[in-house]
Amino acid sequence: MATITRVTRWGGYPAWAWILQAASGVLLVVLLSLHIIAQHFVAPGGVLDYGGVVAHLRNPVIFVLETAFAGSVLFHVFAGVRAILLDLAPSKAQERSINVILTTLGVGLFVYGLVLTLVVVTR
């Protein structure tokens, strides 16, 4: 049997959490590389000063890339935390709480980052 069917099926259902975490991981290799190169290697002295950050984020292409980066990194991180917690064999009720708490944290941080970005580019 192909490895992909073993690692991507769990109890007879496709393991969407695993597939999406792998996919977001591959996406992150690209988006994180762009994030680091743009913010820390092109920038003089390794980090952007305030004006540099504003100019960087006001570029619509960069804005879209950084937003996509934030979304995929938060998904990837919280899917990872969920995978660790599910390995501790929680009950169904505990698993539901884990899902609700982690989704809230992930969405909350994404919205917070988006608001921060919009405040910085618009003032």
Partner 1 sequence: MTGNGQHNTALRWGDSVRWFDARRRGLGMWAFALNRITGVLLMIYLLVHFVNISVLYLGETAWNQLMDLFRMPPFLIFDVALVLVLLYHGLNGIRLVILALDIGVAQQKRIFWGLMAFGTVVAVFTAFGLFRG
Can you give the binding site for partner 1, defined by CB under 8 A?
2-4, 7-8, 11, 22, 25-26, 28-29, 32, 40-41, 45-51, 53, 73-74, 77, 80-81, 84, 87-92, 94, 109, 112-113, 116, 119-120
Contact present, 48 and 56 (Cβ < 8 Å): yes
Tell the smallest beta-carbon distance from residue 2 to partner 1 (Å): 5
Residue with tokens 């980052």: 113
Task: Give every CB contact of residue 21 below 8 A, 6+ residues apart in sequence.
Answer: 75, 76, 79, 80, 83
